[in-house]
Chains A and B, each alone.
Chain A
Amino acid sequence: MSRSNDPPILEWTREGDCPVLVVSGTWNRTGPVCEIRGEAPDQPPARYRCDDLGEFDSTLPATMLALIRQTTGGAAAGRPKPESKSKPDPDEDAAGVTLDGLPDDLRGLMELALGVAERSDAKSPVARRRSLGQFLGQTSQRVGAALLGVIEFVGLSVQSLGRLLVGRARFRRADLWLTIQECGVQALPIVSLISFLIGVILAFVGGYQLAGFGAEIFVADLVGIAMVREMGVVMTGIIMSGRTGAAFAAHIGSMKANEEIDALRTFGLNPFDFLVLPRLLALVLMMPLLTVYANLVGILGGMLVGVASGIPAVLYWQQTLTAIDLTTASLGVFKSVFFGAAIAICGCMQGMKAASSSAGVGQATTRAVVASITMVIVLDSAFAAIFTVLDI
C-alpha cells in the first residue's frame, strides 16, 4: 500500500501484446498534478494494476476517463446501456472497455461514467469560425428577419386595435386600469424631477448667453418653446422607455419563460389582445398627459431660475404665453402619442421574443430599452424634418 504522500502517477506498460495501465499514488485535488508515464497505446488498457494506489478523489476517475476517451478516439468512449437493464452487469466490460484490476469503488464509478455513450453528434451548438462572406450574409439575413418581425408585430397590434374597435378584443379591463396606473400616476415623481431639472438647466444656460445681449427676458421664450416642442416629450419618452418599456419586456418575457403565454393560447385567448393591447392603450393614453405635465413642470423650473435672476414671475409667465401658441404647444403632445405606441410595441415585442430563461429575460429587457430610446429619437428626427417642411 502506498504512503499517504506518494505523487499520483499513471504509467503505461505492456503485458505481452496487451496495454496495461498502472495506477499509483495518492490522488487529491489539492495535491500535485498527476504524471503520465510511457507511450499511450491506440487502444484502451486491457487491464489495470492498482497495487500502489492510495486514497483518491474525483481527480483519478476524471483523468482515467479522459485517458480512455483519448485511446478510443473520443467518440467511441462508450457503448449505450440497454434501456431495459438498469444496472450494468459488473462482470461485463462497461462501454466496451475492460475495467479488470480496478478496486470495486473505482470500478463502480468508471462503470457509471462509461455507462452512457458520449453523444458526439450533440456537440454542435458552439459557433464555428465564419468567413467574412458568411458573416455578412448571415447578418443581413438576421437584420432582414428582425425588420420583418417588427412589421409583423406592428401589423398584429393594429389588428388587435381593430378588434378592440369592433368590441371583439378579449382582455381584462382591470389589467388596463392597473397598467394605466403604473405608467401614469406612478411615473409622476420621476417625470417631475427630470422635467424640472431640464427646465432649470435650459434657463441657466440660456439666461447666461442672453444676458450678454441684455435680453434676459427671452429666457422665457427659450425654455417654453424648447420644453413644449422637444425636451418635454423627448425626456418623457426616454424616462418611459427605461421605466415602463423595460417593465413590459421583463414581465412578458418571464411570462413566456413560465409558459404562461402558452396557457393563454390554449384557452383560446389571443396573447396580443390580452397582454399587448392593454399596455399599448395605457401608454398611448398616458404619454400625452405626462408630456403636458412635463412641459408645465419644465416651464416652472425655468421660471424659478428667471425669478431668481430678477425677472418678475408675472412678466415671465406672460412672455411664455406670448412665445407659445396653440400649434407649438400641441406639437409635443402630438408626437407623444407616437412615442407611447413605439415604446409599448418595442417593450412588448422584445418580451414576446425573449428566450425562455432568466438570461433571455435580461437580454430582452436590454433590447427593449435600447430599441425604444432609439425609436423615440428616430421618430423625433422624422417629425423635426416633417414640421420643417410644413413650416410649423
Chain B
Amino acid sequence: MTRPSATPDKTKSRPAGTAAPARISVRGLTMAYGSFVVMKDLEFDIAERDIFVIMGGSGCGKSTLLRHLIGLHEPAAGEVFFDGENFTATPPDRREKFIRRFGVMYQSGALWSSLTLAENVGLPLEEFTTLNARQRRELVNYKLALVGLSGYEDYYPSQVSGGMNKRAGIARAMAMDPDILFLDEPGAGLDPLSSRRLDDLILRLRDSLGSTVVIVTHELASIFAIATNAVFLDTDTRRQGAVGPPDELRQRADNPAVRLFLNRGEEVPSD
C-alpha cells in the first residue's frame, strides 16, 4: 500500500454522480458452466475505495461472479478490466501483475490446514518478498493484530473457531498489501456482534489502507452498514437487476425484485 494522498473519507456513502476512477470494469460479462448460462450481460464499474457488494438470492451466481473477477473462471463472453487494462484478454500465465494486487478471502476461510495461522499469513511473504525472518514475523503479527488475533499465531486452523478462521483468512488476504480485497461471504455464520465487528474492520481497513473492497454477501444488515455501491443479480432473468448504492436501490430501484430483496420481501412502492 502507499499512503493515501487525501484524508480518508470516513463517510461510507459516495455522493451520487461523483466521478471516481473505475478500478474494476465489467463489460458484457456472461458466465456459464458448459451450456448452462448462470448470468449474462453483466455491466458495472467498481470505483477506487468503493466497498462494492455483489448481492442476490442463494444460488444466483454471486460467488461465481467473484471467481470470474479474480480469474478462477474464464467468462463465456465479455471482459473484466482492472484500471483500464484488459484482464480477461491476458493469458493466465501473464496475469501475475494483476494477481499481486488482489487479496482474496474464501467463503470458509480456506486456510491451509497443515500450517499455523502465522505460517498461513507468512507464506506469501516468504515466497514473494526478500524480507528477513524478523521482518516477516513482525508483519505477520501486525496483520493478525489488525483482525484481533494477537496471541493465536501458533494455532492451527482446526484449533480455532469458524469466525477466527474467517478473520485469519482476511489477514492472509491482506498479507501482500493488496489494492483490492475480495471477500466471499465474510459475515456468514458469525454471531451479530462478530459480524458487526467484521463490518467495522472492513470499513476501517478501507479508510486506513485506501483499498477497494468487493464483497459477496446477502446479509442486509452488512449491506446497508458498509456498502457504497452494489450490484444485484436477478436469478429469474439471469441478468443484473440493478446497480447503485443499496440505500437508494431499496427505495427507488426500477426492478421490483431488487426492492423486495432489500426490504426482506415487503414491497415498498417505487417513488
Q: What is the distance, in angstroms, from B200's C-beta to the closest C-beta of chain A?
A: 5
Q: How many angstroms between the C-alpha atoms of A64 and B141 in the bound complex?
A: 11
B32 an interface residue at 8 Å Cβ cutoff? no
Q: What is the distance, in angstroms, from A34's C-beta to the closest C-beta of chain B?
A: 9
A61 an interface residue at 8 Å Cβ cutoff? yes
Known: A62-B138, A358-B113. A29 touches B132 (CB 8 A): no
Instruction: Please choose the segment from B56-64, B88-96, B150-158, B216-224 that sits at the chain A interface, where 4 or more of its residues have CB less than 8 A away.
Output: B150-158
Q: What is the distance, in angstroms, from A4's C-beta to the closest C-beta of chain B?
A: 11
Contact B151 A125 (CB under 8 A): no
Q: How many angstroms between the C-alpha atoms of A117 and B152 in the bound complex?
A: 11
Residues on B with beta carbons closer than 8 Å to the beta carbon of A66: 138, 141-142
Q: How many angstroms between the C-alpha atoms of A86 and B222 in the bound complex?
A: 14
Known: A108-B207, A116-B148, A119-B152. A86 touches B196 (CB 8 A): yes
Known: A33-B135, A63-B138. A122 touches B157 (CB 8 A): no
Q: Across the two chains, which residue of chain B brings its CB closest to A34?
A: B135
A91 an interface residue at 8 Å Cβ cutoff? no
Known: A29-B129, A108-B204. A122 touches B152 (CB 8 A): yes
B97 an interface residue at 8 Å Cβ cutoff? no
Contact A29 B154 (CB under 8 A): no
Taking CB atoms and an 8 Å cut-off, the chain B residues in 92-139 that contact chain A are: 113-114, 129-132, 135, 138-139
Residues on A with beta carbons closer than 8 Å to the beta carbon of B155: 122, 125
Q: Across the two chains, which residue of chain B brings its CB closest to A63?
A: B138
Taking CB atoms and an 8 Å cut-off, the chain A residues in 344-369 that contact chain B are: 355-360
Known: A29-B129, A108-B204, A114-B145. A359 touches B113 (CB 8 A): yes
B188 an interface residue at 8 Å Cβ cutoff? no
Known: A59-B135, A109-B208. A356 touches B142 (CB 8 A): no
Contact with B along A320-335 (1 / 0, CB 8 A): 0000000000000000
Residues on A with beta carbons closer than 8 Å to the beta carbon of B7: 104
Residues on B with beta carbons closer than 8 Å to the beta carbon of A305: none
Contact B138 A29 (CB under 8 A): no
Contact A113 B3 (CB under 8 A): no
Known: A109-B209, A113-B142. A357 touches B157 (CB 8 A): yes
Q: How many angstroms between the C-alpha atoms of A360 and B132 in the bound complex?
A: 31
Q: What is the distance, in angstroms, from B174's C-beta to the closest C-beta of chain A?
A: 8
Known: A108-B207, A119-B150, A119-B151. A62 touches B139 (CB 8 A): yes
Residues on A with beta carbons closer than 8 Å to the beta carbon of B201: 112
Contact B113 A83 (CB under 8 A): no
Q: Across the two chains, which residue of chain A brings its CB closest to B125?
A: A29
Q: Across the two chains, which residue of chain A brings its CB closest to B157?
A: A357
Contact A58 B139 (CB under 8 A): yes
Q: Across the two chains, which residue of chain B brings its CB closest to A103?
A: B3
Q: What is the distance, in angstroms, from B120's C-beta to the closest C-beta of chain A?
A: 12
Q: What is the distance, in angstroms, from A66's C-beta to the closest C-beta of chain B?
A: 4
Contact B141 A360 (CB under 8 A): no
Contact B8 A105 (CB under 8 A): yes
Number of interface residues of B (CB under 8 A): 45
Q: How many angstroms between the C-alpha atoms of A220 and B205 in the bound complex?
A: 79
B237 an interface residue at 8 Å Cβ cutoff? no
Contact B150 A77 (CB under 8 A): yes
Contact A58 B151 (CB under 8 A): no
Contact B209 A29 (CB under 8 A): no
Known: A55-B2, A87-B200, A104-B7. A357 touches B113 (CB 8 A): yes
Residues on B with beta carbons closer than 8 Å to the beta carbon of A61: 142
Contact A355 B158 (CB under 8 A): yes
- Partner of B146 from the list A55, A86, A109, A126 (CB cut-off 8 Å) is A109
Taking CB atoms and an 8 Å cut-off, the chain A residues in 112-150 that contact chain B are: 112-123, 125-126
Q: Across the two chains, which residue of chain B brings its CB closest to A66?
A: B138
Contact B204 A112 (CB under 8 A): yes
Residues on A with beta carbons closer than 8 Å to the beta carbon of B143: 58, 62
Known: A65-B138, A359-B113. A58 touches B158 (CB 8 A): no
B43 an interface residue at 8 Å Cβ cutoff? no
Q: What is the distance, in angstroms, from B30's C-beta to the closest C-beta of chain A?
A: 33
Residues on B with beta carbons closer than 8 Å to the beta carbon of A123: 151, 153-154
Q: How many angstroms between the C-alpha atoms of A118 and B153 in the bound complex?
A: 10
B16 an interface residue at 8 Å Cβ cutoff? no
Residues on A with beta carbons closer than 8 Å to the beta carbon of B1: 57-58
B247 an interface residue at 8 Å Cβ cutoff? no
Residues on A with beta carbons closer than 8 Å to the beta carbon of B139: 58-59, 62
B270 an interface residue at 8 Å Cβ cutoff? no
Q: How many angstroms between the C-alpha atoms of A77 and B148 in the bound complex?
A: 12
Taking CB atoms and an 8 Å cut-off, the chain A residues in 48-99 that contact chain B are: 54-59, 61-63, 65-66, 77-78, 83, 86-87
A30 an interface residue at 8 Å Cβ cutoff? yes
Residue of A33, A63, A109, A360 with most chain B CB atoms under a 10 A cut-off: A109
Q: Across the two chains, which residue of chain B brings its CB closest to A119?
A: B151
Q: What is the distance, in angstroms, from A298's C-beta to the closest C-beta of chain B?
A: 41
B19 an interface residue at 8 Å Cβ cutoff? no
- Partner of A30 from the list B113, B130, B154 (CB cut-off 8 Å) is B130
* A-B pairs with lowest CB-CB distance, top 5: A119-B151, A116-B148, A62-B142, A118-B150, A108-B208
Identify 5 residue pairs between A and B in the complex whose beta-carbon atoms are under 8 Å apart, listed by A's number: A54-B3, A59-B135, A105-B8, A112-B205, A123-B151
Instruction: List residues of A whose CB falls within 8 A of some B CB.
Output: 29-30, 33, 54-59, 61-63, 65-66, 77-78, 83, 86-87, 103-106, 108-109, 111-123, 125-126, 355-360
- Besides A62-B143, A65-B145, 15 new A-B residue pairs in contact (Cβ under 8 A), listed by A number: A29-B131, A59-B138, A62-B135, A62-B141, A65-B142, A78-B150, A87-B204, A104-B7, A108-B204, A111-B204, A112-B208, A113-B142, A116-B145, A116-B149, A357-B114
